[in-house]
Amino acid sequence: MRIGYEVGKRYRIIRSLGEGGMANVYEAEDLVQKRRVTLKMLRLDLQDDPRAVERFHKEANSLTKLDNPHIVQIYDFGNDHGVPYLIMEYVKGTDLKTYLKEHYPLSCEKVVDIMEQILSAVESAHRIGIIHRDLKPQNILIDNYGKVKVTDFGISIAAMESATITKTNTMIGSVHYISPEQARGSIITKQSDIYSLGIILFELLTGKVPFEGQTAVSIAVKHYRDNLPSARKINPQVPQALENVILHATAKNLKDRYPDAETMARDLKTALLPVRKNEPKWEVPTEDDAETKTLVIPSAESSKQRPATGSRKTKKAKKQKKKRIYRRHPIAFLIGTLGVIVVITILLMSLKVQVPDLRGMSVREAQEVLLSNNLKLGKKRYEYSNSYLKGQTISSDPARETTVNRNSKINIVISKGPLKTKFGSYIGQNFDQVRKKLKAKGVLVDKETTYSNKYPTGQIVSQSIDPSMKVSLYQLSVTFTVSEGVQTFKIRDLTGYTQKSVIDYAQEHNITIIFEQQYSNTVPKGQVISQDPKANTTVKAGSQVIITLSLGPNNNSENGNNNSETSQS
């Protein structure tokens, strides 16, 4: 797209900011708001590719739902001669990849500050069920003041109904930051973003990515097969507690990885505190890490040696012997009893599991996650939702993080998407009242004005959405054209105008002209002698104005009197 071209007759291209696999990005000027913006346009060769167009629209939809100071804000989206475009806030700075190259090495304090801002953005997206899936330094912007903004939600899993996109063996996203489950074409959850964040943290601290290879496939294999290199060996300034955050975020098994961005952020926040200075290296938990109680189980041989039955005297003697032991050694008895209780508690606890966070997942994904946690999918209930798109899980019963028995059935609520209703006609209604009513339902209301002879000031003249169209009101954008009443203006001094010039002026200002003619010795024939109302008088559109045109001198008049004629235009 050439410099100076006006996209949508509003956004003038200033310069190119870069070209991607799907879109071209430009710095542009918003001619209406008088501000710099970032313009993202689908590449011309992809405008007939339905998957590319769908992904582009998905990014627009994702961004409109996100509200966080560390996520690039979307201002507008539309089509220019059939080519989709996005208008986003302009971040004066650079991407994190370039920033790292120019400023490495970064202090640990600076790295933590950057990561906390990124985590804030990711946590906000996860909260409404959006998984980014392509987190990498190139998709993170940092301005000249150190403020971080996450962008490019083009392949986020906002639309769970697109199962072919979320569940394939195609590795979507940059391979250097891809999670093991993405690399295997397996289930993708919020923890996939956590893994990518761990890789970004590694790179910020070491200046390099952990895995390299000659092909994308070879790098992807390393993500789910090889252990991560030690960040501390590459950069000795990294404290163990900070490296532990990397290890915890990039655990191969989802059960060992941070469950969410909030948990990772909490751990990162304290990583540089003195209290964690001597923290040991974090290791992946194993079954043996739990406190072990040894149970002595009689062998089959010893069981055979024990008499099957005994006399009453023998049993009585044994009971009396036990009583004597317990009286002499009460502490030993107490310890033994506590040991039995601990063992039973451990056995019972091993039969308990926590309900995972299923929000934002499709039914199939929720079922797979439940099975991996030794749980079963129970009943499904459907309801409308403004926060979750059609097919996404809204909540579970029992709720997330509730402890339940293994193999319990977990009921889930699935989104039917936003409720759609006919928009209706608001023409002739008071704009302020309509705006208040619609804003309460989540509608974004814009206003344009026009003069109207039909509708009084403040009433709606027209609307951008057809009244019969079925729409979801939540975050819907509508523009109403509102009456400013009848147009008034100060009439110009028309003396000296020709009849044609007067007619042109009348059409321009929507006034009715009544022509009268009169002889004049001073005003040339065909020009205006006088007008009523006089010049600079305020009149309304549609008003009548009487114009007197000159007939020239009356050479046939004996007494000098002028005759006049009247006509209307």
Q: Give residue-wise pLDDT tens across range 492-531.
A: 999 999 999 999 999 888 889 999 999 999 999 999 999 9
Of the candidate ranges 203-212, 385-394, 475-484, the one whose mean pLDDT is the lowest: 385-394
- List phi, psi (to 5°) of 94: -155, 175
37: DSSP letter: E
Q: From CA 70, how far away is CA 121, in angstroms rounded?
A: 5
The arithmetic mean of pLDDT across residues 59-79, rounded, is: 81
pLDDT band for 296, please (50, 70, 90 cuts): very low
The token duo for 104 is 């490495």
Q: pLDDT at residue 110 above 70? A: yes
CA distance 362 to 393: 6
Rounded CA separation 460/450 (Å)? 10
Instruction: Give yes or no for residue 294 having a pLDDT over 60.
Output: no
Residue 28 phi, psi (nearest 5): -140, 165
Q: Is 134 a catalytic residue?
A: yes
| Side chain identity at residue 491, one-letter code | I
Q: What percent of the chain has pLDDT over 90?
A: 45
Altogether, the residues listed in the chain come to a count of 569
Buried b (16+ CB within 10 A) or exposed e, 61-90: bbbebbebebbbbbbbbeebeebbbbbbbb
- Distance between CA atoms of residues 219 and 140, nearest Å: 22
Q: What tokens appear for 306 in the block?
A: 């024990």
Q: How far apart are CA 62 and CA 72, in angstroms?
A: 11
Instruction: List the Cα angle 503/506/510 in 5-degree steps.
Output: 145
Q: Enumerate helices (H) and strands (E) in the chain, giving the number of each.
A: 16, 25
Full-prediction pTM beyond 0.75? no
- Note the pLDDT of residue 77: 83
Alpha-carbon separation of residue 376 from 166, 353, 368, 381 (angstroms) = 22, 12, 9, 15
Listed range (312-321, 376-385, 416-425, 426-435) with the worst mean pLDDT: 312-321
Pairing relationship of beta strands 140-143 and 148-150 according to DSSP bridges: antiparallel
CB atoms within 10 A of CB 362: 22
Q: Give residue 125's Cα distance to chain centre.
A: 6
CA distance 482 to 460: 4
* pLDDT value of position 304: 40
In angstroms, rounded to a whole number, what is the distance separating the alpha carbons of residues 246 and 227? Answer: 12
Give the separation between CA 373 and CA 400, rounded to whole angstroms: 12
Bridge partner residues of 420 (DSSP): 472
Mean pLDDT of 532-561: 83
Q: Which of the following is catalytic: 76, 134, 193, 260?
A: 134
CB 170 within 8 A of CB 120: no
Share the mean pLDDT of the chain.
82
Q: Highest mean pLDDT: which of 302-311, 319-328, 472-481?
A: 472-481
All domains in the chain, ordered by first residue = 1-90 (3.30.200.20), 93-284 (1.10.510.10), 357-415 (3.30.10.20), 420-483 (3.30.10.20), 488-568 (3.30.10.20)
Range ranked top by mean pLDDT from 203-217, 423-437, 443-457: 423-437
Residue 68, classed as helix, strand or coil, is coil
Residue of 515 and 337 predicted with greater confidence:
515
Q: What is the dihedral of CA 317, 318, 323, 325, to 10 degrees?
A: 120
Nearest to 385 by CA among 299, 304, 472: 472
Residues 6+ apart with CB under 8 A from 51: none
Label residue 306 by pLDDT band (50, 70, 90).
very low
User: Which ranges of 350-487 would DSSP assign to H, the alpha helix?
Assistant: 363-372, 431-439
Element (H, E) at 86: strand 83-89
Confidence of residue 330 (pLDDT cuts 50, 70, 90): low
